[in-house]
Structure formats: C-alpha cells, structure tokens
Structure 1
C-alpha cells in the first residue's frame, strides 16, 4: 500500500515526456503523405468546415505546426491544435474541440476507435514503418502448421500494410482471418472498431497473432482467455509467444469484484467525455448501486492518479468509466480498488454470474448490447434483504434490494434533499457526512475566544528553503538584502 499520497513539487521541474521520434513523419517521410494532407483538405472543403480541431498525441506534436500550416494554406478553415488531452490521447477529445467552437475534429495517430457522437470526425492513423517480409517470415516461424486457425490483429497505425501481408499469407494459410476497419461515412470519415470476418466464436484451438504496440494486448488476452497469443514487434522485427498467467490475472480481477461487493460507498470516476453512451452507463451504474443499498458519488477529475483518489477516504471502491484501453487499471498502488463497469455490475447484479469471461467495453453492458443482463426485481419484494458471506473478511453481508419509488411531484427519485414545506427540509442519510462526523479531525476550526492571547514575536529571516539560523544562508545577487520579518500570531490577535 502506498504510504505517501502527495508528490514532490520539485519533480514537476524535472519531469520529461518520453517521445519516440520514429513516430514522426518529418524524420523519414514526406509530411503530406504521412498526415494525408490532400485527403484531409478534401474532407474539410467538401463539408465547408470553417473551424477544425487537430488532435495530436505527444509523440506527434513535433509536426503539428507544419500540418496546421499546410491545411490552412489549402483551405479557408481556421485550425486549432489540441495537444494536452483531458483523458487518454487515444480517445477523441470532443469537449476541448467544443471549447473553441470547432465544426469537426481530425484525430492523428493511434486510436482506440471508441464511437463518438458530437462532432464529425476524421481519423489519420499515419503510416508507421514495418517490414512486411520479415513480419510474414516471423509468422511462418511461429505457426509452422499451415492449417492453424489464426486471427491477426494490429494497431491502426499499421493498417496500410495489411493488404501486402494478406497477399503473402493468404495462399498458404487458408484458415487465417484478418481483422478489418469498417469506415462509417455517414459521420465524416470515422471508423468502427475491429470487425473479424468470421461467424464462429473463438475456440480453444484458435491462435491470435497481434503486432504493433502492447497497449491493447492485455485487454485482448483477458477477453479471449481461451486462446493462445503471439506478437510481432515491428521495431525489432521479432516475434514471440505471449505467456502471461491468465488464471492469475482473472483471479486478481475477481478479488476486485469481491471488494466491490463489500463496499458501502462507491465512487464513479468519469474517465471520458467523448465516448458515446458514457452518460448511459453512468446512470445504469448509479441505479444498480442504489438498488443493492449502496451509496454512490460521481467524480470528474481528469487523468486519475494516486494522490487524487486518496483525498476521499470515505469511498470504499471506485469504478472507472473509460474507453476499453484505459479502463483496465492495476489498482495495487491505489488506496482503494479501481474496478471496471463490468466488475461493478457483477458485484451488484446477482443475475450476472462470474463465468471467467471478461468485458472491457461498457457498450456491451448497455441495453441492446451483446452482454447486457437485466437487473430484474420480479422475484424480490421491496426492501428484500439477501445475505451471503464475504470471501475476503468471512463476515456476513446483506444487500437490500430496493425498488425505484415513483415520484408524485415529477421530481427525480434520487434526490438527496426532499422538500417537506416552505420552511422545512429533510435530508436523507448521507454516507460521507456520517463518515466525516466520526473523524477525530474534521478540518481547521477557528475557536474564537478559546485560544490565549500572546504577544507577537519576530519570526524567521530569509526564504522558506534556507532560513538564516539554520546555517544555510542564501546569497542571491538579484535580491541582496532579502529579509522578511514574519510574525507569528495566535488566533484572536
């Protein structure tokens, strides 16, 4: 468990961003080809867009000025560069684009392809270099049996090489299936996530070959935990078999589900503002949490870290609503566990049983999704208590299934304050307030008139990092006579 929940302020000045310059097209290719300047200009002019937001990841910011200048030169549009995104750079930052009143977004680099709905969108993945011949040779070495059932997945930045790879392997490997990108031209040039051209589910004898970066490899291995995985690294042109302990990883996630079952207060972390239907899954989570007698609070804090979440000790477990690539966190260093919407639904909905399957995309949990399970209460009466045993503490725990009350005045049934008359209000039980009342320290208290009145004394001389009496007197040429007289005063003076 992490003991320190605050970072050293000096680290901010020393922090650097790791940038892989090999991602930048200005080092080895023409910018017009890499960033598809002609296609982007056609997208802007054909739709008569006047304000265009250009979203770049950190590794491509080195070329953002050149790309912006090229687009403005060939179109009548004004471009705005979005660099520091609110959440992960793989997601489309529609909120930042709306702040400048953009008509559309052009997203550059790697993307999770999560669906968006607010603004027209065009993806420019780029063309990261890859040796297709060496990739095919590594594939043949990993899969000597030409009858093997293999699904080939890839990062979107290598989509330009898939046709060449398919020509090299298609004739000799009849059971190889290539994942494809399906363009949705009704909403700009946005794309849907990977669709696999097969009608059969992945069986135990199915192999999955993934090449590109390892951002999504863990998610794939968790989701298709009955398959064997191999990967190819385009930077080193080497392939290898992946061998993480799936059973151990799944049991670790199951432990997080048990922690969610024991929780009384749940914090819902908003990890995206651009993925479609994120508000729907938040409402579904709030309703599921309420029905089992738990309290929920919603937090919108941008990119999460350990110090941020450590400020709320009354929260027993957090559930992160984000895109599939950013939702699966290793919460070992956090003060409280961070679970996914699927894990929280499993903890709350007794009709969803743990079967070893794993879902990282919350779209599948919504009504109409492939893994949606109704939270029915037909077999329970109102406020019916169900009791089971915690696998962590061994104690009995009770879940109070509550039906949704029907409001009589048209107001929301989840309101925490209910108006009784013009002058009197009644507040429901608040878990956070109850937790605060039990603390020994509840914040700064003025205590006027209680503290004794004493005479003011002269304080320390110098600056905060080097007081004179500490033997580390600082001589600053810019401030040769820097002496601050500080006075220590007690309350009430």
Structure 2
C-alpha cells in the first residue's frame, strides 16, 4: 500500500507501507489450526464462564470465526483480545481482567514467560516443516555423527519435533532435543513434545537446563559450551535471545519458509560489544528512566524495586514510565533522561536502540553499570527474574560504604566519573559558610528533572484559562510545510 503526499505542483513525498495480508482460514481447517475441540474441553473441564482469546495481529483475521466456534461448542462467553500493549508473545493478563475473564487462551508465537494471575492455555500455529529437507540440511551442517547437538525450535514447530527426533536419533546418538515447559500450575497445555527421557536417564545427567520455556538434559561431565545448537525457525528475536544467552555455543539454523539451513554468521562478539558500549553509557548517566514493558511476566514488580535500589545506591536518580509499544517519538519527549532501562520478557528486552535519542538497556546491563560487585563477563542475562534474590544470577549490593573520593574514568568521554555524586552529603567549608560537596574533583550538578525543566526555554503549552479570546474558525494553510499552496514557488 502506498500513500502520496503532494503539493499543487508535484509529488514531493512518497511513503510505502508494507502490511502483511492473511486470508481467512476455511472453516474446515479451523479445528486443525486452532485446536477448537481441545480448547472447548479445557473450558468445560474447569467450568469457565468468560474466556479471553488473545490473538496476535496476524491471526486476528480468524478471531471472530474461532470465537463463534468456541461459543457454539461450549457454555462460555468468549472475548477477543487484540493489539496487546507490550508484545503479543506475552500473555496479556491485564486486558483479560478488564473483561473479568476466568482464563486466557493464547494463540500464535509465545515467549513462554511465566504468568501467575489466570489459568492459561497455549495454542500454537502448526506451521509446516519439510522434514526431508530439514534432516538433509542437518546432515550437511553436522557431518560428524558423534557431535553433541541441542535442538531448539520456535514454538510453532513443536508438532513436528517428534518425527524429526525419530529420523535423526538412530544416526546421531548424542542428539539432545528440548521440550517446552512453563513454570507454575496455571498452564494447562499438556500436548507439547516430551523428550525421550526416562527417570534413569534424568538421574544420569549432571545438569538440567530449564530456561526460556525450554528444558533439556546435558550428558554427565559436559557443559552447554560443549554443545552446538541447531535451531528450527525464522531469524528473529527468539534466535537472537538464544545466541546472546549461550554466546559461547556455535549456532546453525533451518528456515522452514525458505527451506534452507545455514551456519549463523552474525558475529555475536560484535553484538556483545555493542551491549558493552550501552553499559558504559549507563555508567555515565545521572538520570535513569525505568520503562515498564510488561504487566504480565511474573516478578516484574520485584525487579522494579531492585532496580530502584541499585540505581539509588550508584548515586543516580530514577523515574518510572509505563507505556505501551515503544517508539522514537515517545521516548524523545523526556530529554532530561540520560538512559532508559526496559523491563520486558527476554525476547522483547533486547531492543535495538540505535534510532533512539537515548540508549535503552536491559536490567542486567543496568546492574553491571551500577553494582560494583557485578562484573562484565561472558555471562549475559536476558531474563530479569534470574537477577532477583535466590536466583542463579543474583549479585547483592555491597554492604561496605563507598569511599568519598572514589572516581573512575569514562571510556566514552574520557572525563572523571564519580560514583557518589548524589550520595555525597554537603559539608561546611573551613573558609566560610558556603556549602560545598566533599568531592572537590567535580562541580555541583543539578540532576533532578524539575531543575532541568526550569532551565528550558520552552516548557510546553500553557492553558491561560480565561485569557485567550474566542474567535471564529479560520481556514488554514493547504499543502505541506515545505511548500504551502498560497506561498507559491521560490525563484
């Protein structure tokens, strides 16, 4: 679709908007794609009366037909949820509670982040996979049949993994296939792939990895760095999240749409260095904006509180913002913020902020910048829940008081950077009654947003109630700002 904006003389701006168009699924295929019978059985078994059906934008075209079939085959009243505020991969419990829903049925791609408020059922798309070409690509990428390989996949291809395992297991004895799991007792999707692990096998494994809704078992004596990863799905946030987390593993992938396999050539070290640059920007920042990008992922309130304490301990100020889908104009409204930290699910937290005026970092990166005891290493944490007390990546704040004159050097600006600028208490100078900071290496800085706003030449629209005269509406200019019609053309 294209829209043209033109003046009276010629077209000066042309904008092309790409929109994915999906046709309605025939009624005879609705059952296969959306598991309507299983959904109705789930509703009837628990006697739910109000059911929230959450669809991503690309599946909304079938939402009405699915809702009609569910209402016809059960006693429940369905409500369609669309335009999820923070990300369609997350369960939108807030929107479901607005309609008083008893449960949620989530359709399409999912990050499998745990939710705790409402009972939940996942229904994935059954996207087609050519198993013959997939196994052929697998053999080409891994000619050594003794290789240790972990198979990961997009949730929409879970239906084909059992058949793939049957074809490859006899040939590759060290193949490990992940299974889908969701923490908590509120999820009732029981038809997922289950790995061929009996109790004896599970006891023989020295390490069990359970992360991002995936669970797999490593052989005794081996760590995840001894494995290669084969991913089934398109290039996107899911694969990028895996590669950032397990950045010491080699990755290969098979794209079921293009039906081709490849070795992932994106330099993960380069990506990590870009994130390290963002950490240096976070160290330089004085005012931090905490962006709440989820209201459904478990423990998001706990990480907000922990971030506030960590930022305060580092001598920085923080402000919290709750907004929907992020874009450049939204964040550009807050010029007093030096850096933003986004609280979201693992797949949405790695936001590319190259177009934003101020960087957007993850909670892990902000902790590296603010917590002296947490050091930058090969570990990279995208799931903020792992940073909380009692979790595997938690690092408590130092109990020792900061040194008054402790400073370091910014790797970006080359200037001295104090870690106690805002924590320093004013002291009376022996040369007079003027108030100065203990740290004499830096001048006094104003870091509050209110002080920043007071120095602006323009502070927003003023209401001036009762002062503005009432006038009749007048015809405005026509055209675009670069060439209004009444202005004519310049010579």
Q: TM-score w.r.t. structure 2 length?
A: 0.81
Q: Distance in 1 between matches of 2:447 and 2:265?
A: 47
Kept after mapping to 1: 8 A contact 2:135/2:164:
yes
Kept after mapping to 2: 8 A contact 1:54/1:79:
yes
Match of 2:401 in 1: 380
Q: Quickly say closer, same or farther: Cα 1:112–1:201, change in 2 above 3 A.
A: farther
1:90-136 Cα offsets, whole Å, 9 max, x none, are 00011111111111000001100000011110000121111112211
Shift of 1:363: 1.0
Q: Distance in 1 between matches of 2:471 and 2:158?
A: 72
Kept after mapping to 2: 8 A contact 1:105/1:120:
yes
Match of 1:139 in 2: 138
Shift of 1:18: 2.0
Match of 1:42 in 2: 41
Kept after mapping to 2: 8 A contact 1:269/1:319:
yes
1:329-370 Cα offsets, whole Å, 9 max, x none, are 111110000000000010010100001221111011111211
Q: Distance in 2 between matches of 1:350 and 1:100?
A: 45
Q: Distance in 2 between matches of 1:459 and 1:207?
A: 69
Match of 2:374 in 1: 352
1:139 alignment partner, SS class: helix
The alignment status of 1:434 with 2:446, answered yes or no, reads no
Selected match of 1:326 from 340, 348, 353: 348
Match of 1:368 in 2: 390
Kept after mapping to 2: 8 A contact 1:153/1:211:
yes
Map residues 44-123 of structure 1 onto 2, 5 A cutoff.
44-123=43-122
Q: Distance in 2 between matches of 1:213 and 1:133?
A: 18
Match of 1:198 in 2: 218
The alignment status of 1:397 with 2:413, answered yes or no, reads no
Q: Distance in 2 between matches of 1:284 and 1:181?
A: 29
Q: Quickly say closer, same or farther: Cα 1:20–1:268, change in 2 above 3 A.
A: same
1:391 alignment partner, SS class: coil
Match of 2:20 in 1: 18
**RMSD of equivalent CA atoms:** 3.1
Q: Distance in 1 between matches of 2:73 and 2:310?
A: 52
Q: Aligned pair count?
A: 429
Match of 1:479 in 2: none
Q: Quickly say closer, same or farther: Cα 1:169–1:430, change in 2 above 3 A.
A: same
Match of 1:426 in 2: none
Which runs of 5 or more residues in structure 2 are unaligned?
A: 1-12, 191-211, 424-445
Match of 1:335 in 2: 357
Kept after mapping to 2: 8 A contact 1:177/1:196:
yes
Which runs of 5 or more residues in structure 1 are unaligned?
A: 1-10, 404-428, 473-493
Q: TM-score w.r.t. structure 1 length?
A: 0.80
1:44 alignment partner, SS class: helix
Q: Quickly say closer, same or farther: Cα 1:170–1:469, change in 2 above 3 A.
A: closer
Kept after mapping to 2: 8 A contact 1:19/1:58:
no
1:315 alignment partner, SS class: coil
Q: Quickly say closer, same or farther: Cα 1:468–1:13, change in 2 above 3 A.
A: closer
1:231-255 Cα offsets, whole Å, 9 max, x none, are 0011121101111112211111000
Match of 2:286 in 1: 264
